[in-house]
Structure 1
Amino acid sequence: MAYDMRLMAERFLTDGMVPEAGDVDRLTALLGRPLRTYRDFADEICNPACDF
């Protein structure tokens, strides 16, 4: 397992998280909704809990 983790980390460091053509469309279809930013996700999670 450590070997697999090292390979995944090495690939991430060399290639980063650059999507290939069609990745966004495929992920949108899998999720059934448009992608959102992390900020939008955090606002969605926090706002109902932060309303005092």
Structure 2
Amino acid sequence: MQRGLGGSPHQRLHQDRESVSKKTVPHNCEQRYITNMRDIIPEITRAIKVVLIDSLW
């Protein structure tokens, strides 16, 4: 362990990733992902219904 540098290199790696990810991901990117998932859910539901109905026959 290296003293005075904020912990072990492994711990610093996780700290660096956390700080970089929060700074580089824009807020609207997360919102866009949620919106896209809402658009996809009806299609997924329809596909599941088709598979279930086909499996009954």
The normalised TM-score by structure 1 is 0.30
Greater relative contact order, per chain length (Cα 8 Å cut-off, separation 6+): 1
Larger helix share, 1 or 2: 2
Which entry has the higher C-alpha Rg, 1 or 2? 2
The normalised TM-score by structure 2 is 0.28
